[in-house]
Structure 1
Amino acid sequence: MAKQGTATKRPRRERGSLNPEDIVAGAFELAEEISIDNLSMPLLGKHLGVGVTSIYWYFRKKEELLNAMTDRALRQYAFETPFIEAEDWRETLRKHAQTMRQTFLGNPILCDLILIRSALSEKAARLGGKQTERVIASLVEAGFSLEDAVETYSRVQLHVHGLVVLQRLSDKNRELSPESTAYYENVIIDPETTPLLAQAAAKGYHSGAPDDRNFEHGLDSILDHATRLLSGENHTQKKSTTARRATRSATTKTSKPRTRTATK
């Protein structure tokens, strides 16, 4: 459990020995102990063995420090997440999604900075855009239309991020209150009143749980749909629908409006 408002005090540093990189590195160390939510400039100063004014010299407020931490976190995230290869797009996209999820689950600070914290610096936003651009480019190279490539990767991102955030929020609640349970754990399953759910639970199926089984099932569904898109099945359906709409539109335009005969 993250500690509330405590930090290990280091020996006093020599004057002038502090730099922004040391501050950011120390902030990550402290956040591992007390969480991003409890991180503060005074506690960070104590952790680094410097006066808090030394930190304010480089970062005027906590928001600027969090931006710098997010920049570093995104660089780490981009480095750890494998690229998508056009010639083997399905399996490499699967590995990309799996590694993305494992990276966030294995590093709560990374998750809090990138997924839960809403603000991003311009540098971080550009880095995220460049990474997404590379994935889209690989999918387009694999044969996807630009629209299908964007929609496919968007679904993968939403699936991964959504399940990771649900798990992280559940973990954060447990940090605050060890007795608390996740929403999907509060569902009462009784063999008499909910026999189907009871049978499913006995086989390891849990409705709404962000677990491995539900993650892989959802990912398979996204990849299966993407495979159909690439095979042309959905393209044919879209062309047929577009043709029908064009025909209806042309018929409407050429049809003459009815006129009423005046009665005397």
Structure 2
Amino acid sequence: MAKQVTAEKRQRRERGSINPDDIIKGAFELAESVGIDNLSMPLLGKHLGVGVTSIYWYFRKKDDLLNAMTDRALRQYVFATPYVEAKDWRETLGNHARIMRKTFLGNPILCDLILIRSALSPRAAKVGVAAVEKAIGDLVQAGLSPEDAFNTYSAMSVHVRGSVVLRRLSDKNRSAEDAPGDFAEVMVIDPETTPLLAQVTDEAHRIGVSDDNNFDYGLACILDHAERLIDEKSAPAPRRKTTTPRRKAGTR
């Protein structure tokens, strides 16, 4: 039988002594121990030492509270992520991607709110759009067309988010009883029938797994493609051959 999620009960507050910031802060504290999926208004009330009606006064339902948590988490995440710089676009975009991934992997609550839940309030979405606009603008300054800059940043973002979500879902599955292993763990590799797979996996490579090696390889492919586009755009156009018109017979 699954263990029932409980919250540590605090000394009860006086009526009217709590505000939205206290509730959001307490929700993050509680989510650290029970997770976003198990976060509930009654549990949060016990954690904060208030009646659940005090929470409903500010947040009418759980989704409203999660939206407010997402607003705060997204603002903190955007400010903590380094921006892309046109003069050194490849290194800064690569660092942007790696730190974005590291931030999400290091904070499961952030991952669940922004990536898995994927329900941003208009205010949170506006903050995110401003950051993306700046990154794309810097890539355009670096030499990409607006369309190629958009596609490059979008591909990088999908690569990061996909890598993080796969890792997060794998971690969640591992925490369940009788959970199967991931794709690489359940593969049966026979050196006789799959010699190439046997050779590569012996070198610590894993197929279909959201690890650092697979992430870095995919990121390098995206950056390499963007670099080729910039080189092609900046290459001088081939000179057109000029031909001397032929004289008509009998003319000098």
TM over 0.5: yes
Deviations 1:177-220 (A, max 9, x none): 36432233221122233222111111011111111011111111
Alpha-carbon distance in structure 2 between the residues aligned to 1:184 and 1:117:
26
Contact 2:159 2:219 in 1 (8 A): yes
Q: Compared with structure 1, are the counterparts of its residues 131 and 168 closer, same or farther at alpha carbon in structure 2 (3 Å cutoff)? A: same
Per the alignment, residue 245 of structure 1 pairs with: none
From the two aligned structures, give the one with the greater helix fraction: 1
**1:127 maps onto 2:127 in alignment:** yes
Unaligned 5+ runs, structure 1: 237-264
Unaligned 5+ runs, structure 2: 237-252
Number of corresponding residues: 236
Per the alignment, residue 144 of structure 2 pairs with: 144
Contact 1:85 1:138 in 2 (8 A): yes
Per the alignment, residue 249 of structure 2 pairs with: none
Per the alignment, residue 32 of structure 2 pairs with: 32
1:7 is paired with a residue of what secondary structure?
coil
Q: Compared with structure 1, are the counterparts of its residues 131 and 189 closer, same or farther at alpha carbon in structure 2 (3 Å cutoff)? A: same
* Structure 1 segments (4+ residues) deviating >4 Å: 233-236
Per the alignment, residue 11 of structure 2 pairs with: 11
1:70-219 to 2 correspondences below 5 Å: 70-177=70-177, 179-219=179-219
Contact 1:71 1:124 in 2 (8 A): yes
Q: Compared with structure 1, are the counterparts of its residues 113 and 234 closer, same or farther at alpha carbon in structure 2 (3 Å cutoff)? A: farther
Contact 2:143 2:234 in 1 (8 A): no
Contact 1:156 1:219 in 2 (8 A): yes
Q: Compared with structure 1, are the counterparts of its residues 35 and 234 closer, same or farther at alpha carbon in structure 2 (3 Å cutoff)? A: farther
Letter in 2 for 1:194: T
Alpha-carbon distance in structure 2 between the residues aligned to 1:233 and 1:143:
7
Q: Compared with structure 1, are the counterparts of its residues 4 and 221 closer, same or farther at alpha carbon in structure 2 (3 Å cutoff)? A: farther
Alpha-carbon distance in structure 1 between the residues aligned to 2:3 and 2:96:
33
Contact 2:100 2:160 in 1 (8 A): yes
Q: Compared with structure 1, are the counterparts of its residues 11 and 75 closer, same or farther at alpha carbon in structure 2 (3 Å cutoff)? A: same
Per the alignment, residue 21 of structure 1 pairs with: 21
2:168 is paired with a residue of what secondary structure?
helix
1:232 is paired with a residue of what secondary structure?
helix
Per the alignment, residue 58 of structure 2 pairs with: 58
Contact 1:3 1:34 in 2 (8 A): no
Alpha-carbon distance in structure 1 between the residues aligned to 2:48 and 2:97:
36
Letter in 1 for 2:138: S
When the two chains are superposed, the root-mean-square deviation of aligned CA atoms in Å is 1.9
1:37 is paired with a residue of what secondary structure?
coil
Alpha-carbon distance in structure 2 between the residues aligned to 1:16 and 1:147:
52
Q: Compared with structure 1, are the counterparts of its residues 24 and 224 closer, same or farther at alpha carbon in structure 2 (3 Å cutoff)? A: same
Alpha-carbon distance in structure 2 between the residues aligned to 1:50 and 1:172:
31
Letter in 2 for 1:35: G
Q: Which moved more, 1:138-147 or 1:171-180?
A: 171-180
Q: Compared with structure 1, are the counterparts of its residues 45 and 8 closer, same or farther at alpha carbon in structure 2 (3 Å cutoff)? A: same
Q: Compared with structure 1, are the counterparts of its residues 127 and 235 closer, same or farther at alpha carbon in structure 2 (3 Å cutoff)? A: farther
Q: Compared with structure 1, are the counterparts of its residues 12 and 160 closer, same or farther at alpha carbon in structure 2 (3 Å cutoff)? A: same
Per the alignment, residue 241 of structure 2 pairs with: none
Letter in 2 for 1:202: D
TM-score by length of 2: 0.89
